[in-house]
Structure 1
């Protein structure tokens, strides 16, 4: 019997028991689809978190921390290979001291810090507009900094705005080249510290629509005079060690140089943090999660395999006489076994194909519907974004699920097929 004849033989018997085969295929479809959709959650969340990490930091940036008893030796670090720049920055977190920025009639709180503009320029960190300042009175602000500065009319507009409504407030036009007044105010009776700067650069546009970059960066050269005035005017209310936090970042020449440079810094007994290191840790977690979800999904397929086993066992029992005739006319046990295995494989292939299509439909629907439900329930703008994926189905997952599903289907039909080869010809022909 040729292979084409074997396929026709299988199709004829499938058509004779359509309802039984349909329910068996349905069970296989549900089991395989459950595996794919369940594992797709891990793939979707991993992709979303990976994009989030890559969009928020420079890939060539290595944050370096001293080892407690081992203070940072910048000169020694600078001698390492593949370093484009070293940046020392100072973040301000002031208690009981307000820091406000003002442009014209618009005022708002400022997320202030002191940075090394020359180092950021050497690291080739981009700006959306302008350039990195070269003078002490020049600053760089975040892309949404101006929108965070409100006039009295803006405040009234926000008070009158309905729930869920987000009117445009703040300064909408470009503030490049404009003067900004920074004012640090303490308790009553203390003299405020006031400085005026010029906006010479505007940070890059956030990659997420819901992200807001409202920072304000001053030069490290301006730090000393401002800190001196803060100590003078506010006394004990200003504690430099507790309110000014230093951080050091080393920028590698390219992405390929990051791992080796990171290992050299660790060998110097420094603690480090890199985006690639975070991605490696995240990938290890998601590999374990994917394996666990695939294992749980495989259990659903194994449950479905019981239906295939029962279907094929019944098929062998009902076709005992037919098997006897085939043996009588010279059909080999291997051919009979192959026909029944092909029939169980047929059920597995059809069920898997339907499951793959159904899984993609479910995944697309979940990514479209779940964010809308969460946004409606929480009104959190981050959910109302196409960047968040709750489900993703890569081709690797389809291959793994298909191999498991079809493989289990074949194994389920193997024992009934073997039983068919052991049927006695004379007893089979005597059956009515």
Structure 2
């Protein structure tokens, strides 16, 4: 029996009992759709995790701090060990295999004034040579350069944080939210001043400018904004970035003016080193390895990869549970295929006996039944994928409406996050798996058909 004869006979047999074939295929459709939709929910959750982590920051960046908490022999965290973060530490970490760039970080919290508006923002001093490596991209202007003096790059939402001085009513902006669509200050063109004097630009009581200890009034710096960063949906949007050497110089001037006392700014003694370090790893797969080497230097580390591992473990567990629930439907469908093929043997016993008398090989009989079982799996798999995409679209539509009403936006640009995601590979794998289940389900009926006695088959009415 050649392949064309096999396909022709198998197709006729399937459509001879249309209702039974339809019910069997329907079972495979439901089984395929169940397992695909269940897995799509797990994939959608994993995509949500990944998107949220990317919104929080770069997965390739490790934050290093001076506080290290070693575990004792019982596994409990011991007392903190403190290590000064200096240029020697920066050089050691830079030499680790897989590290692309390292920048020290110094933070300050000065006051910004532009005309009748003021703002409070975190100013971070970094090595300007590493800005491109750490994915700083400007929407306007440029990044910091060597010949800049008191220059800064603003996050895209810093301009929205300016509010009117002495305004205790409405019109004040926090973290990029305002009652106006336009920022009150054009940071690229308007004059902006920066100072550690928290009362600058406001009404003072007599003698307030000299403080309690007759300290000098902190200097006021004219800030040149050379660029505004592109939106990152992360902390970069709300921070100001300066050259670390320039910011350190300004902090030291402030410390000297206050005699070691603070009035709202940040004090940084030279012996204390940097606040923290940022480490950019070339390959995300090397983050764990680099992080362990840094910990071996008795330094505290943190990266989004730590959260990512925990999220992936949770996602894997959920996908396993959901996939298991869907697999139950597939198992029932497999039993349905087996039952259909066995019933087909009883109905076609005489036909099978005649085929054997006419010289049909046992392998051809086996191939015929396996082909019919595989065709049931194939038809159910294809239609099941179509049903899965429809169910996925419905789930996303309902979920999107709910998130819109709740004001929840997970994706960039306020795009709602899809709850169910069916990648192309899952569709093809599911169809192949449905065919495989059909073949496996048809093995027993096929072998049973091969063993039918010719004489008993011919005597069958």
C-alpha distance in structure 2 between counterparts of 1:285 and 1:156, whole Å: 43
CA distance 1:234–1:87, change in 2 (3 Å) = closer
Equivalent in the alignment of 1:314: 343
- Higher normalized helix content (fraction of residues): 1
**Alignment RMSD, CA only?**
4.1
CA distance 1:420–1:166, change in 2 (3 Å) = farther
C-alpha distance in structure 1 between counterparts of 2:409 and 2:55, whole Å: 18
Equivalent in the alignment of 1:113: 123
Equivalent in the alignment of 1:264: 293
Deviations 1:110-168 (A, max 9, x none): 23234235464484653412332766643332112112324599x76799xxxxx9751
Matched, 1:184 2:198: yes
TM-score (normalised: structure 1) = 0.78
C-alpha distance in structure 1 between counterparts of 2:103 and 2:171, whole Å: 44
Of residues 229, 242, 254, the one that matches 1:204 is 229
Map 1:69-84; keep pairs closer than 5 Å: 69-74=81-86, 75-79=88-92, 80-81=94-95, 84=101
Q: CA deviation at 1:19?
A: 1.6
CA distance 1:380–1:83, change in 2 (3 Å) = closer
C-alpha distance in structure 2 between counterparts of 1:103 and 1:185, whole Å: 14
TM-score (normalised: structure 2) = 0.74
Q: CA deviation at 1:91?
A: 5.8
C-alpha distance in structure 2 between counterparts of 1:346 and 1:311, whole Å: 13
Equivalent in the alignment of 1:126: 136
Of residues 306, 309, 323, the one that matches 1:294 is 323
Unaligned runs of 5+ in 2: 69-79, 212-216, 269-273
Contact 2:352 2:457 in 1 (8 A): yes
Q: CA deviation at 1:4?
A: 0.9
CA distance 1:180–1:332, change in 2 (3 Å) = same
C-alpha distance in structure 1 between counterparts of 2:184 and 2:64, whole Å: 37
Equivalent in the alignment of 2:24: 24
Paired residues, number = 415
Deviations 1:293-341 (A, max 9, x none): 3333222211222221222222122222222322332333332232122
C-alpha distance in structure 2 between counterparts of 1:212 and 1:167, whole Å: 22
CA distance 1:83–1:324, change in 2 (3 Å) = closer
Contact 2:403 2:409 in 1 (8 A): no
Equivalent in the alignment of 1:104: 115
Helix, strand or coil at the partner of 1:310: helix
Matched, 1:248 2:277: yes
Moved more, 251-260 or 73-82: 251-260
Q: CA deviation at 1:345?
A: 0.9
Helix, strand or coil at the partner of 2:122: strand
CA distance 1:15–1:354, change in 2 (3 Å) = same
Matched, 1:221 2:241: no
Equivalent in the alignment of 1:162: none
Contact 2:112 2:194 in 1 (8 A): yes
Contact 1:316 1:416 in 2 (8 A): yes
Deviations 1:231-287 (A, max 9, x none): 98877x99969xxx9322234578798666444323323232345565555545544
Q: CA deviation at 1:174?
A: 5.2
